[in-house]
A and B are shown apart, each in its own frame.
Chain A
Amino acid sequence: MIDATADRPRQGPVLEELRTYEEAWATPPGWRRLSSVSHRVVGQRFIVTGLVFFLIAGFLALLVRTQLIVPENTFLDAETYNQVFTMHGTLMMFLFAIPILEGFGVYLLPLMLGARDLVFPRLGAFGYWCYLFGGLIVLASFVFDAAPDGGWFMYTPLSTKEFTPGLSADFWLIGITFAEIASVTAAVELIAAILCTRAPGMSLTKMPIFAWYMLVTAFMITVGFPPLIVGSILLEVERLIGLPFFDPALGGDPLLWQHLFWLFGHPEVYIIFLPAAGMVATMLPTFVGKPLFGYGYAVAAVVTMGFISFGLWAHHMFATGLPTITLTLFSAASTIVTIPTGVQIFCFILTLAQKRPRLTVPMHFILGFLFIFVIGGLTGVMLAAVPFNWQAHDSYFVVAHLHYVLIGGMVFPLIGAFYYWTPHFTGRMMSERLGKWAFWLMFSGFHITFFLMHITGLRGMPRRISTYPAGIGWDRLNLLSTIGSYILAAGVVVFVWDFIAHRWRGPLAPRNPWKAGTLEWLYPPIAPGHNFHAIPRVHSREPLWDQPDLLENEAHETRGLLRDAPHGRRETVGCHPLSGEPLQIVRLPHPTWIPLLTAFAVAVSFSAVLASLYDIAAAGAVAALFGFAAWAWEPSETGQTITTNDEGTLPVDVASRLGHTHIAIIGTLMIMVALFASVLFAVMFLWNVQPEFTRLAGDPDLFWTSIAVACGLGMSLVAWLARSAPMAVLDLAVALLAGVAGWALYQAVLPTDPMATALAATLWVMAGFIGTQQFVLLYWSLFLALRKVSGQVAAGQIVPEINRVPYALVTAGMLIAAAVVLAAPQLEVLK
Chain B
Amino acid sequence: MNGPSTLDTYGSQTSFSSAGTGADATLVLTTAMSVAAAVIFLLVMGAVWLAWRRDRPGSVWWIWGGGVILPVIALGTLVVASTFTLAAIGRVDDGAPVIEVTGHQYWWDIVHDPEGRALRDANEIVLPLNIPVTLSLKTEDVIHSFWVPSIAGKMDMVPGRINRMTVTATEAGRFRGQCAEFCGLSHPLMAFEVVVLPQAEYDAYLEDLRSEARDADTAQLARGRDVFLNEGCIACHAIRGVAEGARLGPDLSRIGARATLGAGMWRMNVGNLAGWIADVQDMKPGAQMPSYNHLSGPDLRAVAHYLASLK
Residues of A within 8 A of B (CB): 71-72, 74, 77-79, 82, 150-151, 155, 157-158, 163, 248-249, 252-255, 290, 293-294, 297, 301, 319-321, 324, 327-328, 331-332, 335-336, 338-339, 342-347, 349-350, 352-357, 367, 370-371, 374-375, 378-379, 381-382, 384-391, 393-395, 458-460, 462-473
B158 near A467 (CB under 8 angstroms)?
no
Interface bin, chain B = 35 or more
Identify the closest chain B residue to A455 (Cβ): B16
Q: Is B265 among interface residues, defined by CB-CB distance under 8 A?
A: yes
A470 near B186 (CB under 8 angstroms)?
no
Give chain A nearest CB distance to B118 CB in angstroms. 23
- Complex Cα distance A151/B184, Å? 9
- Complex Cα distance A514/B100, Å? 66
Give chain A nearest CB distance to B123 CB in angstroms. 15
A462 near B160 (CB under 8 angstroms)?
no
On whether A387 and B85 interact (CB within 8 A), knowing A82-B185, A319-B145, A321-B163, the answer reads yes
A321 near B86 (CB under 8 angstroms)?
no
Give chain A nearest CB distance to B181 CB in angstroms. 6
On whether A331 and B82 interact (CB within 8 A), knowing A350-B51, A391-B153, the answer reads yes
Q: Is B178 among interface residues, defined by CB-CB distance under 8 A?
A: yes
- Complex Cα distance A354/B41, Å? 22
Of B52-60, B125-133, B198-206, B289-297, the one touching chain A = B52-60
- Complex Cα distance A389/B26, Å? 9
B5 near A339 (CB under 8 angstroms)?
no
Q: Is B161 among interface residues, defined by CB-CB distance under 8 A?
A: yes
Identify the closest chain B residue to A163 (Cβ): B142
On whether A356 and B67 interact (CB within 8 A), knowing A319-B154, A388-B26, A393-B154, the answer reads no
Of B71-79, B230-238, B245-253, B268-276, the one touching chain A = B71-79
On whether A293 and B57 interact (CB within 8 A), knowing A346-B62, A385-B29, the answer reads yes
B51 near A385 (CB under 8 angstroms)?
no
What are the 3 tightest A-B residue pairs by CB atom distance, in nearest-first order? A248-B160, A390-B153, A465-B188
Partner of A342, one of B30, B56, B66, B161: B66
Residues of B within 8 A of A (CB): 1, 5-8, 10, 12-16, 22-23, 25-26, 29-30, 33-34, 37, 40-41, 44-45, 47-48, 50-58, 60, 62-63, 66-68, 71-72, 75, 78-79, 81-83, 85-87, 89-90, 141-143, 145, 147, 149-150, 152-156, 158-161, 163, 176, 178-189, 265, 285-286
On whether A381 and B75 interact (CB within 8 A), knowing A388-B29, A458-B30, the answer reads yes
B52 near A254 (CB under 8 angstroms)?
no
B68 near A468 (CB under 8 angstroms)?
no
List chain A residues, Cβ under 8 A from B176: 460, 472
List chain A residues, Cβ under 8 A from B54: 352-354
B75 near A467 (CB under 8 angstroms)?
no
- Complex Cα distance A71/B265, Å? 13
List chain B residues, Cβ under 8 A from A394: 145, 147, 154, 180-182
Identify the closest chain A residue to B56 (Cβ): A354
List chain B residues, Cβ under 8 A from A462: 147, 178-180
Give chain A nearest CB distance to B185 CB in angstroms. 5
A387 near B86 (CB under 8 angstroms)?
yes
List chain B residues, Cβ under 8 A from A371: 45
A374 near B14 (CB under 8 angstroms)?
no
List chain B residues, Cβ under 8 A from A347: 63, 67
List chain B residues, Cβ under 8 A from A155: 142-143, 181-182
A to B CB contacts below 8 Å, 18 in the list:
A82-B182, A155-B181, A254-B158, A321-B158, A343-B68, A349-B51, A370-B45, A378-B37, A386-B82, A386-B86, A387-B86, A390-B154, A391-B154, A458-B149, A459-B16, A466-B188, A471-B8, A473-B13
A378 near B40 (CB under 8 angstroms)?
yes
- Complex Cα distance A379/B34, Å? 8
Partner of A469, one of B6, B58, B82: B6
Identify the closest chain A residue to B47 (Cβ): A349
B182 near A158 (CB under 8 angstroms)?
yes
B78 near A78 (CB under 8 angstroms)?
no
- Complex Cα distance A448/B193, Å? 32
List chain B residues, Cβ under 8 A from A390: 22, 26, 152-155
- Complex Cα distance A371/B48, Å? 9
- Complex Cα distance A332/B48, Å? 28
